[in-house]
Amino acid sequence: MSNISRAEVAHLAKLARMAVTEEELDVFADQLDQILDAVAKVSEVAGDDIPPTSHAVPLTNTFREDVVRPGLTQQEALACAPAAEEGRFRVPRILGEEQ
């Protein structure tokens, strides 16, 4: 049994910048105990003859090959823009005078 302490949970909460109540410390300590116990059981089952893996099933790449396709011209891209200026999208200024 792991028996993670309330102080350890409070420390973890502080590191995660979480504000937790006294009641939550008890709940989280119990939940973390259960998680650590489950991980310990899995560790007992995994023997030296079983290689560590990151996934239960093999992964395959689902990306397609890069294909060069023609894009929009500058005029086509700006055709439906609400505002354009000097060949660019015009957007409202969000900064003050400082730059």
Q: At what angle do helices 22-45 and 6-15 cross, to 10 degrees?
A: 100
CATH number of the domain to which 40 belongs? 1.10.20
What is the pLDDT, as a whole number, of residue 86?
A: 93
The pTM of this model reads 0.46
On whether residue 13 sits in a domain, the answer given is yes
Mean pLDDT of the chain: 87
Q: Which residues contact 20 (CB under 8 A, 6 or more apart)?
A: 9, 10, 13, 28
Q: Is the pLDDT of residue 1 over 60?
A: no
Contact 33, 4 (CB under 8 A): yes
On whether residue 75 sits in a domain, the answer given is no
| DSSP H helices in 18-99 | 22-45, 74-78
55-75 pLDDT, tens per residue? 888 888 888 888 999 999 999
Q: Which residues contact 78 (CB under 8 A, 6 or more apart)?
A: 84, 87, 88, 89
79-97 pLDDT, tens per residue? 999 999 999 999 988 876 5
On whether residue 65 sits in a domain, the answer given is no
Q: What's the domain count of the chain? A: 1
Give the pair of three-digit tokens for residue 13: 């909460």
Provide the residue range defining the domain that includes 36.
6-45
Among candidates 3, 66, 74, which has minimal Cα distance to 32?
A: 3
Q: Is 20 helix (H, G, I), strand (E, B) or coil?
A: coil
